[in-house]
Structure 1
Amino acid sequence: MALFPGRRPKRRTLVGTLAALVLAGSAAVAPAAAAAIPGQDEVVKTANMHHLANIPKPPVFSGTGSYGTDWAFKGNYAFAGNYDGFTVYDISKPAKPQIVTVVKCPGSQNDVSISGNLLFLSTDSSRSDDSCQSVPKPATEKDAWEGIKIFDISDVRNPRYVKAVETKCGSHTNTLVPGKKGTAYIYVSSYRPDSTFPDCQPPHDLISIVEVPLNNPQAAKLAAEPVLFPDGGNPGDKKDYPEGTSETSGCHDLTAYPSKNIMAGACMGDGVLFDISDRLKPRIIHSVRDDENFAFWHSATFNNKANKVVFTDELGGGSTATCNAAIGQDKGADAVYDIVGKGDKRKLVFRSYFKIPRANADTENCVAHNGSLIPVKGRDIMVQAWYQGGISVWDFTDSRKPKEIGWFERGPLSNDQLILGGSWSAYYYNGYIYSSDIQKGLDVIDIRDKATDKGKRVKLDVLNAQSQPDYFD
C-alpha cells in the first residue's frame, strides 16, 4: 500500500508530488513479451473470471492523482479509500453496484477499516490541521497534522466526522484489532522518519496504538507506542533503487488474526510474527529477512489455520515496472512461509516464491500487492492485486508449489509513458472479488471454478482484510 517505499521523497510533501505523477516509461519491450501483452486498456482474463461490473471513480476523484486505495466491507456496503477521501458503494447486487455517497477528505492514502458503526481513515501526508478541509503543510513545521480520523457510518448516506488522533509519522496503514467488549484498538503503521520532522524523529522503531471506546469515539486516544525493534531492525543496504533492501524504521502493514492472538508484520526490511495476547504490548515471536530477493516487506496474509503466512515484496514502491524478464520471478513477488512449532517456539520457515507468470509492458507498474483469502475449507487460496499486472487467484495449499487458478488484467494505461494505475486491493467478500483500481474505480469479478466455488457459501457481516476472521471456527 505504499508508493516509493524504499527511496521515496520527503514524506510530507508526497501528495503534491504524486498528484502530478506521470513517469516516463521505456518503450523497449522484448518481442516475445510484447506479443503476449494486451493492447492499451484491453481486458484479458481466464475463462473462469467473469467481469460483472466496472464503476468509474466518482467525478470528484476523477483526476489521475486521486488514487483508489484500500477496501473495508460491512453488510451490503463496500467502503473504498482514495487519496482524496472515500466512496461508499451499495453492493447488494454485485453485478449492479451503486455509489451511495462520496466523502471528500484529502490526506493520502486514506486506508480504511471498520468496527461497529465507526470507520477509521489513515492520513499519511502532512496537513494544516485534522479537518477534511485541510491543505498540505510541510512536516518540518511542528503544528502540521497527520494520523487517524474517525467517522460515524451508522447512516452510510451521511458519514459524520467525529474525532481525530494524531500519531507519530502519520498513519500509512491501520489495522483493526478488537479488544475487550466495546473497545477497539487501531494499530497504526508508519515509517520513514526524518530528523527535520518534529513529529517523526528517527529511529521510529515503533507503532502507534489508538484505543477507541466504540460507544464513545470522542474519547479515542493514543494508548501506547510499543517499540518493536529495540535493536534497530534491518539496517538495509546501499544497492541501487529499486532492488536494494530497505532499512527497518517502522512497519508498513500489520495483519492481525485476533481470534488466534497473533499478527504478521511487514516491516520494511523484516518479516515478523507477533503475539498480541496483550493488545497494548505486541511481542515478537520470530522475525526473518530476505536480503537477496526482498526489497520492501509490504503486507501479509495468514492462511485460515494460521500455520502459513504469505508476505509481499513491494519492489519499486508500486511505481515501477517489475513484472518482466529483467527482474525475474523471485523479486517483487510473494514469499510463502510455513509457521512451525508452538507457542513462543514458533518460527517462520521459507518455502517458495510466487509471482504472476505474465509479462507486463515497461509502461506498467506491477508488483505484488494487497489480497485476501478465498474461504475454501481444506485449501489455501487467495486473490491478490498486482497493480497493472491485474488480479490473480492462486493456491498455496502446497506451500512449496503454489499455482495460479485464474487471472484478470487490462492492457497498459499508456503505451508511451508509465501512468500509475491498476488494482491496488483485490479482496473476496461474500462470494465475489472486489478490486479497487487506482484509476478505473470499482471492478466486480465472479470467479466460477470448482476450486473456489465452496467459498461462496461463507458469509461475513464485516471484512477488514488486515484483521483476518477465522472462517471455519
Structure 2
Amino acid sequence: MTLLIDPRTRRRRLGVAAAAAGLLAALLTAGPAAATPDPGDGPAVPEKVSRSDAIETRTAIANGEIPGQDEIVHSDNIEHLTNIPKDALPGTNSDLAFQGEYAFAGNYDGFRIFDISNPKAPRTVAQVLCPGSQNDVSVSGNLLFLSTDSSRSDNSCNSTTQPATEKSSWEGMKVFDITDKANPKYVAAVETACGSHTHTLVPERKNVYIYVASYSPSATFPDCQPPHDGISVIKVPRNAPEKAAVVNFPVLFPGEGPDGGGNPGAPTNPGVSKTTGCHDITVLPSKDLAAGACMGDGILFSIKDPEHPKVIDQVEDNVNFAFWHSATFNQKANKVVFTDELGGGGAATCNAAIGPNRGADGIYDIVGKGDKRKLVFKNYFKIPRHQADTENCVAHNGSLIPVKGKDLMVQAWYQGGVSVWDFTDSSNPKEIAYFERGPLTTDKLTVGGSWSAYYYNGYIYSNDIAKGFDVLKLSDRRTDPAKRVHLRELNVQTQPDYFD
C-alpha cells in the first residue's frame, strides 16, 4: 500500500488561470473570514464562477487531472465501505461524536444517531429536528450537547430565525438525554454570549464542564457585546442537567479599550481575522492542557482548574494564517496542529494560485515545562492534490489515529476529501492516504465535501455536507496498530489518552 500522492497532481495547475495575486487579495482583504460556510438554517447558495474557470474545470476532468463530477477516487490503502445519504434533515451536515456502537452526526437542522455496530451497514436509529446552526454535537454518558449559533426566536426545537439585535433572541447550548437512543429527550438549555459556534467537554465524575467558543460581537447585539475576548464555561450536573448554568467567562485576551486583546486584524495585519473570541478549543484532560484556535491567535492554556483556564502561550501567524480554526494535540502533548480556514470554508483555496502554505495546517512543537511552555512553529501541511475552482477546499476537522510512537492524523478538507497524514517529523509532514469525490458542480462554486473525518475503533467516519455519512476502511502497516485501540466514547475535541 504505497500510493502516497496522486500522480495526477504533477499535471494539475488548476487555479493558475486566475491571477494569483488578485485571487489572494480578494480572499485576504474581504474582511474577517467567516468560520463556516454559514448558510444559516438553509443550504448555501452556489456562486457562479468565471467562464474560464468553468472551462478549466471541465477540461481538467476530461484530461483526468481531477475526478469527474461526483466520481470517487482514493489511494490503494483506503476502501469506501458505504455512504448513507441525508434523509429527514436536509441541512448542512456538521460535526461527529461517538459512544459505544453509535455515531452522532450534527446537522444544521438537528442531529442524527447511527448504529455503527456493523460499519459496512450503519443503521439510522433517530433523527431529531432541532434547527439552529451549526449544531456542533458531543456526548458524555447519557447526555448529548448541541451548539446553537444562529439567532433564534426562543430555545425550543420549534424556534424560528430572529435578528440578534432583538433582546429576546436566543443562542447557546442545548442538552438532551440519550438514555434511549431511539428517543432523545430535550432536557435543558443555557444561553451564552454570542451563541455557541462550537463547544468542548471537560468531563468529571459528577459534572461536565463545557467550554463554549463563539465570536463576532457587535454593539448592536444585546447579548453579544464587544470585545468578547473569552469563552463561556458551563457546569452541567450529570444527575440534574436541568440545573446547567454558566459559571464563568474567563478572558483569554486581556487588553485595554473596547477591542480588548488578541490579534487586531486589519489594517494592522491585513488578511487576518481580528480576534473576538475563539472558534474551537481542544482539551487533553490527562495532561491538564488545552489548545485554542481563536480567529487571529493560537493559544496554549492550562485547565488544572477547569472553571478558571489559564493561558500559557499565545502565537500568531500574520503571513499565512487567516483564521485559526481548530487544534489537535499529538498523544505525547509535545505538538499541536492548528488549522487555517482561509475563506471561511466556502472558498476554493486548494489550487496553485493559493499555494501550499495558506488554508493549511500549521505544526507547532511544545517546548519547555509547566507554565513556561512555548509553541514553536515547525512547518505547514496541505493536501497535495489541487482541486477545481468550483470546489470549496481548506483544512478542516480531523483526529489522531492512535499508533504508539507515531503522530498520525485523519482530516477533512471539504471537497478536497479526506486525507491521512504523518507529522511524526514535525518539519517534514507527508500524506499517506486519501479519499475524495469529484466536484459537485462544474459551473458554480457549490459548498460541500467532508466537514469532519475522524478515526474511531478501526474505521474512518466522515460527515459530508452534501452527500451524507461515509465509512472508510484504512489498511496500511503504518496505521494498522490503531485497530487494537478501542474507546467507549470519543468527542474529538476532548482528546483521550489512548495508551493510559
Deviations 1:298-342 (A, max 9, x none): 000000000000000000000000000000000000000000010
Query: What's the C-alpha RMSD, in Å, of the aligned pairs?
Result: 1.8
2:374 matched residue in structure 1: 347
1:36 matched residue in structure 2: 65
Deviation at 1:191, TM superposition (A): 0.2
Greater shift, 307-316 or 215-224, is seen at 215-224
Give, in whole Å, the separation in 1 of the partners of 2:377 and 2:123: 42
Percent of aligned positions that are identical: 65
Deviation at 1:35, TM superposition (A): 4.1
Aligned AA (2:368): G
Distance 1:45 1:14, change over 3 A: closer
Aligned AA (2:32): G
Asked if 1:76 is matched to 2:101, the reply is: yes
8 Å contact kept, 2:110–2:130: yes
Which of residues 445, 459, 466 is equivalent to 1:439?
466
Asked if 1:136 is matched to 2:142, the reply is: no
Distance 1:107 1:210, change over 3 A: same
Deviations 1:58-105 (A, max 9, x none): 1x223xxx1000001000000000000000000000011111110000
DSSP 3-state at the match of 2:344: helix
Deviations 1:25-57 (A, max 9, x none): 234238779742111000000010000010001
2:183 matched residue in structure 1: 158
- Paired residues, number: 460
Give, in whole Å, the separation in 1 of the partners of 2:47 and 2:196: 26
8 Å contact kept, 2:215–2:228: yes
DSSP 3-state at the match of 2:151: coil
DSSP 3-state at the match of 2:40: helix
Asked if 1:61 is matched to 2:85, the reply is: no
1:88 matched residue in structure 2: 113
Deviations 1:357-404 (A, max 9, x none): 001000000000000000001100000000000000000000000010
Matches within 5 A, 1:209-248: 209-231=233-255, 232-238=261-267, 244-248=271-275
DSSP 3-state at the match of 1:101: strand
Kindly report structure 1 stretches of 4+ aligned residues shifted beyond 3 Å: 29-35
Matches within 5 A, 1:239-278: 244-278=271-305
Give, in whole Å, the separation in 2 of the partners of 1:5 and 1:288: 21
Give, in whole Å, the separation in 2 of the partners of 1:379 and 1:95: 28
Give, in whole Å, the separation in 2 of the partners of 1:350 and 1:159: 44
Give, in whole Å, the separation in 1 of the partners of 2:218 and 2:324: 20
Which of residues 366, 373, 376 is equivalent to 2:393?
366
Distance 1:14 1:420, change over 3 A: closer
Give, in whole Å, the separation in 1 of the partners of 2:44 and 2:71: 25
Distance 1:439 1:256, change over 3 A: same
Give, in whole Å, the separation in 1 of the partners of 2:485 and 2:370: 29
DSSP 3-state at the match of 1:290: coil
Give, in whole Å, the separation in 1 of the partners of 2:185 and 2:89: 20
8 Å contact kept, 1:5–1:316: no
Aligned AA (1:263): A
Aligned AA (2:89): F
**How does the TM-score come out when normalised to structure 2?**
0.90
DSSP 3-state at the match of 1:454: helix
Asked if 1:183 is matched to 2:196, the reply is: no
Asked if 1:45 is matched to 2:74, the reply is: yes
DSSP 3-state at the match of 1:259: helix
Aligned AA (2:451): W
**How does the TM-score come out when normalised to structure 1?**
0.95
Distance 1:244 1:440, change over 3 A: same
Give, in whole Å, the separation in 2 of the partners of 1:392 and 1:5: 29
Aligned AA (2:108): Y
Which of residues 115, 120, 144 is equivalent to 2:140?
115
8 Å contact kept, 2:33–2:322: no
Distance 1:20 1:375, change over 3 A: closer
2:216 matched residue in structure 1: 192
Deviation at 1:5, TM superposition (A): 9.3
